[in-house]
Amino acid sequence: MRLAVLSVIASSATIATLAAKIFDLAPGLQAGAAALSALTLGTLLIHAWRLSGRQIAQISADGTRIMRLHVATHIVPAAFALATLFGDPIERASPLWIVAFALFFYSGRRTWQALQTGFPSPIYFVFKRGNSAMLGMSVILTLIATALQSNPLFAFVAGVLKLYVSIHFVLMGIAISKIDHDLEPSLNPEH
């Protein structure tokens, strides 16, 4: 129950942060919404870290290690979101960002695959496909943009990453709640 409430607060705070930025509300409101979002999302990630550190019969040891890596690589979209919200606007997706996001998307793809194998679910299938698509698209478009020195293409990739990060953080609580629900019986077999 507490996880569900935390998930709703995290999603709501993320939406409030986006709205405050889009409507250029007072910096204090933007910072407050971002702080609440960061606090709740951070708490969800700590919960996910703990879940991924346990032995789960339906998921291989390699699968749980990759899940932990994916939780840790959430620093990439978090840093991108903070830079977008409070730093210099990211108008171009630099190759450095793409390398970092490539690790994030690859570990995400592997995480969703491990979960899909252990606990078949449409949500894991969709998330695996999404990470695969983002990995391929962002790397390929960045390589083309680099080869062509195309600022509009770099800007397009940055825009897609901004949209992805926004949606990702809104849905993160739902995903962690689903994982928790699926893993709970295997972590506490007496229930």
CA distances from 21 to 87, 105, 135 (A): 12, 26, 27
* In the predicted structure, residue 68 carries a pLDDT above the cut 60: yes
Contacting residues for 161 by C-beta, under 8 A, at least 6 apart: 80, 93, 97, 101, 138
Q: What is the mean pLDDT of the chain?
A: 92
DSSP-based three-state secondary structure for 128:
helix
Phi-psi region of 131 (alpha: psi -120 to 50; beta: other; left: phi over 0): alpha
CA distances from 122 to 37, 47, 127, 139, 164 (A): 27, 22, 9, 26, 19
* Residue range 85-110: mean pLDDT, rounded: 87
Percentage of residues in the chain having pLDDT higher than 70:
94
Each domain of the chain, given as residue ranges in start order, spans 2-187
* In the predicted structure, residue 132 carries a pLDDT above the cut 60: yes
* Residue range 81-102: mean pLDDT, rounded: 83
Closest by CA to 157, choosing from 132, 171, 139, is 139
pLDDT reported for residue 17: 92
pLDDT reported for residue 187: 66
pLDDT level of residue 35 (50, 70, 90 thresholds): very high
Residue with tokens 């679910």: 121
* In the predicted structure, residue 93 carries a pLDDT above the cut 80: no
pLDDT level of residue 104 (50, 70, 90 thresholds): very high
* Residue range 31-37: mean pLDDT, rounded: 94
* In the predicted structure, residue 91 carries a pLDDT above the cut 80: no
pLDDT reported for residue 90: 67
* In the predicted structure, residue 191 carries a pLDDT above the cut 60: no
* Residue range 124-135: mean pLDDT, rounded: 97
DSSP 59-85: S-HHHHHHHHHHHHTTHHHHHHHHHHH
